[in-house]
Amino acid sequence: MESLAPSAFSLLVFPGFLFLGAYGTLAQWVDRKLYARMQRRVGPPWYQPVADLVKLLAKETIVPQAADMAVFQLLPAVAVAAACTAMLMVPVWGPGAVVSFQGDLIAVLYLLTIPTATFFLAGWSSTSPYAAVGSVRALTQLFSYEVPLFLSVIGAAILAGSLSVQEIAAFFAARPALLAVNLPGLCVALLALQGKLERVPFDIPHAETEVVGGPFTEYSGGLLALFLAATDMEMVVGAALISAVFLGGSLGLTGAAGFALFVAKTLGVVFILALMRALMARIRLEQMLGFCWKILAPVALAQILADILIKRVI
Amino acid sequence: MAKPAKMLGELLGGLFTKPATVLYPFERLEVPPRFRGRIAYEAASCIGCKLCMRDCPSDAIRISKYEGGSFLFAFVSARTGERKLVEIPNNAKKRHRARFRLSRCIYCAQCVESCPKKCLRSTDQYELAVLGSNIKPPKR
């Protein structure tokens, strides 16, 4: 049971807040640099995300008069906390996660939903028309990508016969050939993750040309910095989850080699996400709903069916 | 979104080619030939026909005459704030002067085309923004 009690160190330093924040910053830079290079631009220097953060922290934080003061200021912290907590259940180096229990996969998925919920509440409590429209879009979008994401992850869980991220990673590390079975699920999960992170082509909630900044319209200064950091952290946790569930995690390696593999796999996922961002233009909300429910969800269901059949065979 | 991955090859190729852009304040692209930048004026050959003034679509250029001999220049002493008029002898050949309002100029170089004596020409200067006015009001 001691594994269920994470220390303050693992929550605040590694793999929690500090590590996740630093790695999220790096992942954001890698994403922006790749995006720029694909568009044949030079791209930002490595310290650009840090400079952006410092700039935002130095700016004045304005809370709208009509907004609920407490909720408005608390929500960014809740988003960051949810991402940090989710990271505890995903293996970082070696096959073990800080916290592991049967069903932590479900816990991770739900913790990763909390940032989106805070985006909605943030927009709603801002009392701005742009923020309200953006937050309603965020919530509508949530119902389209969440189901395919859950279904695709559950497919891998069925094949591994476990609902623990750590055990799923260990199962696939022992039988790498079975990873190929989950390839359609991997594609579904990557697309759903792109939707979860609200990035192009699924950046409908904060489409700048239509609804200014969406839920973040009224946010500024430190609070906005926290929200953006939460998005970066969510990207890392999502990439780590995909690497653990669909790519075999650390493949049994521990220590520095395991960590190097973790970095390689998460940055690989970030590369694919950046490629998607560069490849496509924003689609409309109803197009996204149609795409997620008519294409992603059936593929994920077929994936589950295939997993059940293969589970019978082996 | 008929073919969402149409640009894939282009994008991946971009990763391995030199960027098309440069880090501007540190590196500069060469200005193309016949670039229309800031207008340069050569007073010595100006005959004061004011064709440039007539043709200028944004009323950005003014040619005015120097009344022969010398002209007076007002200086303000920084220490005492006293105004002093200084007489400066006129350049024998210089009979006209041009004033450009760079905030109005659209850099069409029509004045360069119109000038019969070729005393106006386009230069390759394009960094014309300044942080503050160089003209300081006299201290009191």
pLDDT one-digit tens code per residue, A196-238: 998 888 988 888 888 888 889 889 888 999 999 999 999 999 9
Residue A26 lies in a domain: no
Shortest CA gap A203–chain B (Å):
16
Inspect the interface and report whether the beta carbons of A279 and B11 lie closer than 8 Å: yes
Residues of B in contact with A294 (CB under 8 A): none
Shortest CA gap A47–chain B (Å):
15
Alpha-carbon Rg for chain B in angstroms: 24
Q: Give A248's pLDDT tier (boundaries 50, 70, 90).
A: confident
Residue A259 lies in a domain: yes
Shortest CA gap B17–chain A (Å):
7
Shortest CA gap B19–chain A (Å):
5
Residue A25 lies in a domain: no
Q: What is the pTM of this model?
A: 0.80
Q: Give A258's pLDDT tier (boundaries 50, 70, 90).
A: confident
Mean pLDDT of all residues in A119-138: 90
- Which residue of A lies nearest to B11 if distances are taken between CA atoms? A38
Residues of B in contact with A45 (CB under 8 A): none
Domain extent listing, chain B: 31-67+97-122
Residues of B in contact with A43 (CB under 8 A): 19
Higher-confidence residue of B126 and B114: namely B114
Provide the number of structural domains found in chain A: 1
Residues of A in contact with B12 (CB under 8 A): 38, 275
Residue A3 lies in a domain: no
Flag whether pLDDT at B71 surpasses 70. no
At the top level of CATH, the class of B31-67+97-122 is alpha beta
Nearest Cβ partner of A279 from B5, B20, B22? Answer: B5
Residue A256 lies in a domain: yes
Contact B139, B81 (CB under 8 A): yes
Q: Determine the pLDDT at residue A2.
A: 52
Nearest Cβ partner of B19 from A40, A279, A280? Answer: A40
Residues of B in contact with A283 (CB under 8 A): 1
